[in-house]
Amino acid sequence: MWCRIVAETTTEHRINDRIRAREVRLVDPDGVQLGIKALPEALAIAKELDLDLVEVAPMANPPVCRIMDFGKFKFDEAQRAKESRRKTVHVGIKEMKYRPKIGPGDFDTKTRQVGKFLNEGHKVKITIMFRGREVYHPEHGKRILDRIAEQMEGIAKIEAEPKLDNRNMIMVLAPDKRARQAAASRTANQHRGDRAPSTNGTPPADVNTTTAETAPAETAPAVAAPAETAPAVAAPAEEG
């Protein structure tokens, strides 16, 4: 009769009296190495500081133990794990199915959803489903896949080129981070250019409006009115 020996796989730290080694490499609360100590001596030092002796590297020879507040250590460890899970992006493969005779409305709706999946960081498997004799005209499915790839340009790249799989045609798109960053940079530069002031430090004004407001009105030159001439009066004849 035999029994199987199962190695201990728990990640729980041994502390204080649970530590089994006779000697440990001791590290103080500030991270300073105190050298190799007998376990009773290490426990006494930790007790004197009102802290715990925690085995942090059980596979070392001798095991490494650190003096610390074990309750605070567990709390910080849980917070780090929680933050790590929060930042983890679960990338999966989504699928979107099209028909060769899909209408414009359905095509736009499905393609918008494909873009949403890609922006969330997912890969997208595009499947064209053929029915009946449609399978003899794969060029219709290829045309739809080309339209999708064209609309996704700038946010995605083709990871798997279109290929026939039984009665389906399949293409896989993957998020293109570099293309998205380049597009975002171009957009930001364009916005900065639109808001940039003129060279003299003042915003450009509407030429037509400024001209209308500031240009003085031209006045016609004054024309002198003709002087009125009195009618000629004949001088009276002298009497002889």
Q: Residue 20 above 70 pLDDT?
A: yes
Contact in structure between 155 and 176 (CB atoms under 8 Å): yes
Q: Is residue 74 in a domain? A: yes
Bridge partners of 169, per DSSP, are 128, 164
Range of the domain at 43: 16-83
Residues in the chain: 240
pTM, rounded to two decimals? 0.44
Provide the pLDDT for residue 83: 83
Task: Looking at the structure, tell me whether residues 59 and 100 fall in a common domain.
Answer: no
CATH number at residue 44: 3.10.20.80
CATH number at residue 172: 3.30.110.10
77 with 101, same domain? no
β-strand 33-38 against 93-98: which pairing, if any?
A: unpaired
**Same-domain pairing of 72 and 105:** no
Is residue 149 located within the same domain as residue 168? yes
> How many folded domains does the chain comprise?
2
Query: Is there a single domain that holds both residue 63 and residue 108?
Result: no
Structure tokens at 237: 């004849």
pLDDT at 173 over 70: yes
Residue 121 counted as domain residue: yes
The reply to whether 169 falls in a domain is yes
Structural domain includes residue 131 = yes
In a domain, 46, yes or no: yes
Q: Quick one: three-class SS letters along 3-63?
A: CCCCCCCCCCCCEHHHCCCCEEEEECCCCCEEEEEEHHHHHHHHHHCCCEEEEEECCCCCC
Is 136 a member of any domain?
yes
pLDDT of res. 137: 92
Best CA proximity match to 117, nearest among 152, 146, 87, 145: 152
Domain membership of residue 68 (yes or no) is yes
CA–CA gap between residue 126 and residue 111 (Å, rounded): 10
- The rounded Cα 173 to chain-centroid distance in angstroms is 18
Residue 185: CB atoms within 10 A of its CB come to: 10
83-139 pLDDT tens trace? 887 766 566 789 999 999 999 999 999 999 999 999 888 999 999 999 999 989 999
Domain assignment present for residue 204? The answer is no
Res 10 pLDDT > 70? no
| Of the residues 146, 178, 210, the one at which a domain ends | 178
**pLDDT tens-digit readout, 185-232:** 766 777 676 665 555 555 554 444 444 444 444 544 444 444 444 444
Domain limit, last residue, from 83, 117, 135: 83
In what side-by-side order are the strands of the sheet with 123-129? 93-98, 123-129, 168-175, 156-165
